[in-house]
Amino acid sequence: MTPSSSFPVALRSLTPDFAPGSVWLVGAGPGDPGLLTLHAINALAAADAVVYDALVDKRVLGLARPDAQLEFAGKRGGKPSPQQADITRRLIALAREGRRVLRLKGGDPFVFGRGGEEALALVEAGIPFRVIPGVTAGLGGLASALIPATTRGTNQAVVLATGHAAAGSEEDLDWSALARLRQPLILYMAVANLPRIAGALMAGGADPTTQVAIVASATLPSEQILETTLGGAAAALAEAGIEAPSIVAIGSIVGLRAQLTARTAAGAP
Ligand code: SAH
């Protein structure tokens, strides 16, 4: 056998058996199918049913077995979205019918993905399950946009946070405290609230010239990157009309991108 034909077969044997009646919670990464894990690809080839979220790319779904049952379980603008309880009930029902159930989520299933709740529900129902990590948008999506989560000399920590909570709600973060950390922030689900968040960070002492990058549809052909500052973010966003899904990076880590792209443009190795 030539190496090229034996290669996929050899890789298939690296994934554990996907048993009928079990559920795999699988991360699909930020969008580019090239960022799927081997386990994810093999699980797509084996699953009888694939229950997928809105952010899962069509090309990834195209890797499912041709006769697999594909079910959409995400939020889509304008249409009623299924409740979390409906989704877990559906996963349990499919597993009890003896299917191999692949629950496919954008990014990593355990990063702002409610994978933890789904895993708990499966444990309570006595359904065997496995979690397959994925490349999370806040790390992999930024890296492919040339924004490192950490670099020596700029930051010793990085905060992954959601910007989704309503102002003043119990879930909202203490943005002043985060500003005082003086470490970069990587925000999920933050675009709609960014003007308010930027204001809260500045009120907490963050410098208005702090660099900000908004990376929309990271790793996809439609990727857009907007570089601005905390003080300029609200106006820049209004002007650019950036759409979700976007990751917002705030702080010193954003600066390396300009250096890297300048070098790339100059043709440096
Ligand atoms: N579990 C996912 C996050 C789900 S929350 C993960 O680990 O990546 C949904 C948010 O993820 C979006 O609002 C956006 O902030 C971010 N996101 C997901 N895919 C993205 C992409 N391709 N580009 C930019 N942001 C993305």
Kindly tell me if the per-residue pLDDT of 1 is higher than 50: no
Pick the atom of ligand 1 nearest to 109's CA: 1
Kindly tell me if the per-residue pLDDT of 49 is higher than 90: yes
Backbone angles phi, psi at 67, to 5 degrees: -100, 10
Kindly tell me if the per-residue pLDDT of 76 is higher than 70: no
Compute the average pLDDT of residues 10-16.
86
Q: Are 256 and 152 in contact (CB under 8 A)?
A: no
Residue 230 Cβ inside 6 Å of ligand 1? The answer reads no
How many separate domains does the chain show? 2
User: Predicted confidence band at 78 (pLDDT cuts at 50, 70, 90)?
Assistant: low
Domain boundary among 135, 167, 201: 135
Q: Are 229 and 210 in contact (CB under 8 A)?
A: yes
Ligand 1 center to 138 CA (angstroms): 7
Which pLDDT tens digit goes with each residue over 155-171?
Answer: 999 999 999 998 889 88
- Which pLDDT score, from 0 to 100, does residue 77 have? 55
Compute the average pLDDT of residues 221-237.
96
Ligand 1 center to 222 CA (angstroms): 14
What does pTM read for this prediction? 0.93
Kindly tell me if the per-residue pLDDT of 122 is higher than 60: yes
Q: Are 109 and 43 in contact (CB under 8 A)?
A: no
- Which pLDDT score, from 0 to 100, does residue 8 have? 72
Residue 55 and residue 112 in one domain: yes
Which pLDDT tens digit goes with each residue over 182-191?
Answer: 999 999 999 9
Q: Which ranges in the chain belong to alpha helices (H)?
A: 3-12, 38-46, 58-61, 84-96, 115-125, 142-144, 175-181, 194-203, 233-240, 255-265
Q: In what order do the strands lie in the sheet with 69-72?
A: 69-72, 49-52, 101-105, 23-27, 129-132
- Looking up residue 201, the CATH number of its domain turns out to be 3.30.950.10
Number of H helices, E strands in the chain: 10, 10
Q: Are 197 and 256 in contact (CB under 8 A)?
A: no
Average pLDDT, the chain: 92
Residue 107 and residue 220 in one domain: no
Which pLDDT tens digit goes with each residue over 87-97?
Answer: 999 999 999 99
For 150, the domain range is: 138-263
- Which pLDDT score, from 0 to 100, does residue 29 have? 97
Q: Cα separation of 75 and 233, whole Å?
A: 27
Show the tokens assigned to 242: 């950036």
- Looking up residue 37, the CATH number of its domain turns out to be 3.40.1010.10
Compute the average pLDDT of residues 235-255.
93
Which pLDDT tens digit goes with each residue over 127-144?
Answer: 999 999 999 999 999 999
76, 84, 112, 118, best to mutate for ligand 1 pocket (most atoms within 8 Å of CB)? 112
Domain assignment of residue 120, yes or no:
yes
Local structure of 246: helix, strand or coil:
strand
Active site members = 53, 75, 189
166 or 230, higher pLDDT:
230
- Which pLDDT score, from 0 to 100, does residue 144 have? 97
Residue 187 Cβ inside 6 Å of ligand 1? The answer reads no
Residue 107 and residue 168 in one domain: no
Domain boundary among 135, 154, 175: 135
- Which pLDDT score, from 0 to 100, does residue 266 have? 61
- Which pLDDT score, from 0 to 100, does residue 195 have? 96
Kindly tell me if the per-residue pLDDT of 82 is higher than 80: no
- Which pLDDT score, from 0 to 100, does residue 177 have? 97
